[in-house]
Structure 1
Amino acid sequence: MPRPDRSRAALIDTAAQLFRRQGYAATGINQILETADVKAGSLYHHFPNGKQELAAAVVESAGGDIERLLRRFLDSDAPVADIVNGWIDLLIAQLASDDRDGCPIEPIASESVNASPQVREASARAFAGWAAAVADRLRADGWSDGDAGQTALAVIALIEGALILSRIAGDDAALVSAKVAAATLLR
């Protein structure tokens, strides 16, 4: 059993993997507890509101990690289109290694529309953060505020939509097509 100071991280890491692979509704608290090797008391100590609060923490953690990584890459001299291509290549590689993997927040985000306002809000903030990272770089490259924001949002929507289509189809065709479309958007 993890130490109490590690139980929160174990719960978030375990729930993140299960939610990403199975979705929010298909993942039960008992499965999370068993897989994380954590007692229910620890779950409710760290997340008094249970599964919804844990899911929101998963989204905030994964979304924040992706935004920080994206900003780090965007802080380079590489063209934005090349960075987005690399991001899509990473998603293609993840799907090739395990077709249950995809965006770490999309399965939770999609289900949260009806299941949890708390998770929905966390998901919206995460996606907005990713778009803001891209928009900030586009503005730094001389794009107008409006064009940068609109294009960044379109790039995130394109990637997320392509990832969903690729997971469903069981191949990377939509993601490969997204690379071409993203390059066109970012010209």
Structure 2
Amino acid sequence: MIILCNVVIVVVMGLSGSGKSYLAKLLHRYWGFEWIRSDEIRKKLAGIEPTKHVREAFGEGIYSQDWTERVYSQMVKMAEDLVKEGKKVVLDATFLKEWQRELVKSAFPDAIFLLAEASDETIRRRLREREDISDATEEIYLKQKEVFERPSYAVVVNTEKSEEELRELLQNLLSAKGV
């Protein structure tokens, strides 16, 4: 794998419903980041329409470890291609396990990891009300909580803050990294 240093790769990770995609959308809209979503890549690889919901048990079907490896590897490959074009990239996925984050770190040692968080009540409400390509349910969220390997190196972002507060936080973080 090619190692690309000093590039702007932001990994937005966390449990389903935590606000990952919201942060990624802000990075895309206000700072021009190319947005790579695991939900979209997974369905594209499986030949499924992105808007079609797939109800699989946690860790089964297109959500098995083999599929997840394919999805995350594809995300890194896409990021490498975009970086070669001089673009900034945000990777939007749960990244529940350290091996998943290692795929990114091996290609992008300087990647910025953001851990999206919100209260249990907020996450459950978001999952019930969401109209999105994500297939996550409250049951999936609870399973994710059981297996999540929390990284000590990620910047924790409470996504219950206002858009203005989140934009300021992201701006400060990017400025500190020279973006």
Task: Specify if TM > 0.5.
Answer: no
Q: Normalising by structure 1, report the TM-score.
A: 0.35
With a CA cutoff of 8 Å and minimum separation of 6, indicate the structure with the bigger relative contact order: 2
Q: What's the TM-score once normalised by structure 2's chain length?
A: 0.36
Q: As a proportion of its length, which structure holds more helix? A: 1
Higher strand share: 2
The structure having more radius of gyration, on CA atoms, is 1
